[in-house]
Chain A
Amino acid sequence: MSSPVGTSVIDRRAIADAFPLFLPAIPFGFVLGLAVTEGRMPQAIGWSSSILVFAGAAQLAVITLAGTASLWAVVVAGLVINTRHVMYSAALAPAFQHQPRWLRWFGPYLLIDQVFALAVLQVDRPPAEFRRYYLTVGLFFFVNWQWVTALGMVVGPIVPASWQLGFAPPIMFLGLVLIGMNRRPQAVAAVVGGSVALATAGLPDRLGILAGAVAGVVAGSFAESDERSEVTV
């Protein structure tokens, strides 16, 4: 239950909401930190993606792929992963209409999956309360993400090669797909995307990712319209 808004800048309930969502980000941040130390980018620049990009899955893709595919292929792979953020932006736009201009510009910078998942449940609160909640959650994730990825880079070189942590990224991505999945069109998109990616795994320049993504979206969109027509009939 929300307590009356006090004078405190930090929304304690927002921290309590964010904390359990942050726990799974800890091993993810470690895997990312490891990928930075093992990848082909200079490490400081790899880590700077935590500030400049601030999107775990895209960061992991870009850092793992850099140097194994052309520059454009790496950029496109990172961006395709993040297209879902357009949907987040659309879903929160009504709540941001009542916010000051500076927050409309700064807020999106913090709009990662977890922040969206929490903030979208608060859109009916008064603007001042929404603002306080949104900023608390967003900055909580931002600050913690920085030290977790840095710590991963410190721990990374100590981990023995026999642990095969290089295989952790595909497991993380697979986990993200299945954990976030709750509707049939999404399942269709994932199965088709994965299957096409497997069939095209031998293509140069990691083109199999794009092939799988496009095939998955097309199949998923067909499944969406299919499901709608079933509902309306």
Chain B
Amino acid sequence: MSVWSSLLIVSMVGLITYSMRAVVIVAMANRAVPPSVERALRTVGPAVLAALAINLAAGGDGGPHLEAAEALALVVAGVAAWRSRNLIVTLLAGMATLWVFSALL
């Protein structure tokens, strides 16, 4: 990937990310976000992160593809995340599952 298109991507994401963080603080300091918009915004995080996790695991070059060990790793990581609420525990549980089952299967 070229230097310029990479820089363009990073700069655009950076600039618009800053704008999203600043928009209400800087421009609308005296107005409130409509409750309906606020409710919709609250679901954006979980929806996007879930879609991203699945697409990174299963999508991409060469069409949908997910190894059994990878699927198991996601399940175990999911249980670990839910129970521990700890990102380090989640990562270790998922990766350990992946290592064990890719060696076995």
Chain A contacts to B: CB under 8 angstroms: 23-24, 27-28, 31, 40-42, 45-46, 48-49, 52-55, 57-58, 61-62, 64, 66-68, 71, 74-75, 77-90, 92-94, 96-97, 104-105, 107-109, 111, 163-165, 167-181, 183, 185-194, 196-198, 201-203, 206, 208-217, 219-221, 223-225, 228
Contact, CB under 8 Å: A178 / B64: no
Residues A177 and B53 in contact in the complex (CB < 8 Å), given A164-B98, A208-B59, A217-B40:
yes
Give the residue among A54, A94, A104, A190 with the most B Cβ atoms within 10 A: A190
Which residues of chain B come closer than 8 Å to A74, judged between CB atoms?
9
Q: How far is the CB of B64 from chain A (nearest CB, A)?
A: 4
Contact, CB under 8 Å: A61 / B43: no
Count the A-B residue pairs with Cβ separation under 8 angstroms: how many?
315
Contact, CB under 8 Å: A164 / B102: yes
Residue count of chain B within 8 Å CB distance of chain A = 72
Q: How far is the CB of A129 from chain B (nearest CB, A)?
A: 18
- Chain A residue nearest to B47 in the complex (CB): A216
Q: Mark B1-32, 1 if CB is under 8 A from A, else 0.
A: 10101111111111011101111111011101
Q: How far is the CA of A162 from the CA of B20 in the complex (A)?
A: 39
